[in-house]
């Protein structure tokens, strides 16, 4: 963010109070007296939010301050407010609001007055525009941090600067389950600055065979909350953001937009395609992993260099590939695959080694073999390429439950099958 000659405290990122007051005074001076208080202003809508506004880049709205202007946009396009703010009223950390290119936290926040002809812009964080994202900045490591991370710091590939990179990074983990557990634990131990957890489920006793984020006393607790407690028990320095909602086409861009890296531990195809598409639109690196029975798959998709749809253009027909709930999975396999995903994330953050980009790693635990296959960007991919039929091009998030044939979402049908299988097992074990 360009703060011009403002004095900013480099350790906290706060603007010095004198600079803040000068800025506010300068803005007040240039403002004409308002007539009745309601000013027509232009609101800039960035691409990720444009599906809300019928693809319009600018929307006219009225209000005396930023809060009223955004409320007016929500009146015209219901749902805009919850897309930007989520469930709360405060501006979330992954959103910056600007009035005439000046970020509002340096003015009067959401109460910043606007006048005729002003431009208000609502900008979610995106990769590639480091200046757009309020990043955590780490100065010198504290003696405690030097001790805690000493086995990282002594490695030439990491060192103090690499450890700072880790501590300045944010990673979103989709699912606090079998894969999300080892991913979250190792990233927490490594000192990742901010970890986001997307999970709307609660801890069930059948999760405890593999989901090491949760323990016996957590049964019945929301998984995201249990995950946060475990992460902070391992490392209190990690900031944990919980997203206790199903990830959907409506919220995926807003959630994913707030992080540098995304790691997929989803347990269904609908979420897998949704997260892939959202990462493509937002240009976020995606570390993908999946597991079933004794098999695992891991790869990395880098922005504009291929995607999950290049590899799997469409989901298998319903019934062809069972879910873990139906067919089972070896608990320890989750540890192997999730730990590989965490390793790839740390390599990307540090900028070291060869990532799994362009390679799909296949793990066969029964044979105890790792294989690799080359994967390439498909020039005719409906998402990241140019399909033969231009009308097939995916240009926005779609209805993924419909795309995956319903049965691959987190459906009641699947839950019912799993429940039936469990009660059948219970019957057998009585014999």
Where do contacts with Zn ion occur on this chain (CB under 5 A)? 307, 309-310, 381, 383-384
302 or 352: whose CB is closer to Zn ion? 302
Shortest distance (Å) from residue 257 CB to Zn ion = 20
Rounded to an integer, what distance in angstroms lies between the CA atom of residue 315 and that of residue 115? 51
Are the C-beta atoms of residues 253 and 278 closer than 8 Å to each other? yes
**Cβ at position 380, least distance to Zn ion in Å:** 9
Q: Which is nearer to Zn ion, 45 or 310 (CB)?
A: 310
Report the residue closest to Zn ion, judged by CB: 381
Task: State the nearest-atom distance from the C-beta of 295 to Zn ion, in Å.
Answer: 23
Q: What 3 state SS string does 14-48 have? A: CECHHHHHHHHHHHHHCCCCCCCCCEEEEEECCHH
Compare residues 172 and 381 and give the one whose CB is closer to Zn ion: 381
β-strands 239-243, 261-264 pairing = unpaired
What are the residues whose beta carbons fall under 8 Å from the beta carbon of 157, sequence distance 6 or more?
Answer: 350, 352, 353
Burial of 164 (0-12, 13-18, 19+ CB in 10 A): buried
Query: Helices then strands (H, E): number in the chain?
Result: 15, 13
Cα–Cα distance measured from residue 134 to residue 49, given in angstroms and rounded to the nearest whole number = 19
Which C-beta is closer to Zn ion: that of 214 or that of 309? Answer: 309
CB of 344 to Zn ion, least distance (A): 19
Rank residues 307 and 324 by Cβ distance to Zn ion and give the closer one. Answer: 307
d(CA 324, CA 317): 16
Min dist CB 27 to Zn ion, Å, is 45
Tokens of 423: 């009660």
Q: Residue 313 Cβ, how far from Zn ion at the closest point, in Å?
A: 8
Q: How far is the CB of 307 from Zn ion (least distance, A)?
A: 4
| Residue number with CB closer to Zn ion (27 or 284) | 284
Greatest alpha-carbon pair distance for the chain in Å reads: 84
289, 337 in Cβ contact below 8 A? yes
**Beta carbon nearer to Zn ion, 293 or 394:** 394
């Amino acid at each position: 963010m360009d703060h011009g000659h403002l004095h900013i405290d480099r350790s906290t990122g706060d603007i010095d109070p004198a600079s803040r007051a000068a800025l506010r005074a300068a803005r007040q001076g240039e403002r004409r007296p308002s007539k009745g208080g309601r000013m027509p202003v232009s609101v800039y809508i960035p691409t990720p939010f444009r599906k809300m506004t019928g693809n319009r880049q600018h929307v006219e709205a009225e209000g005396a301050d930023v809060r009223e202007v955004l409320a007016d946009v929500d009146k015209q396009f219901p749902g805009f407010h919850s897309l930007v703010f989520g469930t709360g009223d405060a501006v979330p950390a992954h959103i910056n609001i600007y009035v005439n290119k000046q970020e509002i936290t340096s003015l009067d926040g959401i109460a910043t007055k606007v006048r005729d002809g002003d431009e208000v812009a609502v900008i979610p964080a995106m990769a590639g525009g480091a200046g757009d994202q309020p990043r955590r900045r780490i100065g010198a490591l504290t003696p405690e941090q030097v001790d805690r991370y000493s086995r990282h710091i002594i490695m030439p590939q990491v060192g103090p600067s690499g450890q700072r990179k880790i501590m300045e990074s944010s990673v979103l983990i989709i699912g606090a389950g079998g894969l999300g557990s080892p991913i979250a634990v190792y990233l927490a131990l490594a000192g990742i600055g901010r970890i986001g957890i997307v999970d709307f489920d609660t801890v069930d006793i059948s999760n405890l065979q593999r989901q090491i984020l949760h323990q016996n006393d957590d049964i019945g607790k929301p998984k995201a909350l249990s995950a946060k407690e475990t992460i902070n028990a391992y490392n209190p320095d990690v900031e944990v953001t919980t997203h206790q909602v199903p990830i959907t086409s409506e919220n995926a861009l807003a959630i994913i937009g707030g992080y540098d890296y995304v790691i997929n531990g989803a347990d269904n195809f609908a979420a897998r395609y949704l997260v892939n598409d959202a990462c493509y639109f937002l240009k976020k690196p995606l570390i993908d992993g999946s597991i079933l029975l004794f098999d695992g798959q891991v790869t990395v998709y880098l922005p504009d260099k291929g995607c999950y749809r290049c590899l799997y253009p469409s989901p298998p027909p319903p019934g062809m590939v069972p879910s873990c709930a139906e067919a089972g999975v070896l608990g320890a396999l989750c540890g192997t695959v999730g730990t590989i995903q965490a390793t790839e994330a740390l390599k990307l953050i540090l900028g070291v080694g060869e990532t799994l980009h362009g390679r799909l790693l296949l793990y066969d635990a029964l044979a105890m073999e790792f294989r690799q296959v080359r994967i390439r960007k498909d020039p005719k991919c409906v998402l990241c390429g140019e399909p033969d039929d231009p009308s097939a091009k995916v240009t926005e998030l779609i209805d993924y439950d419909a795309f995956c044939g319903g049965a691959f979402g987190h459906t009641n049908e699947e839950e019912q099958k799993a429940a039936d299988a469990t009660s059948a097992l219970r019957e057998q074990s009585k014999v």
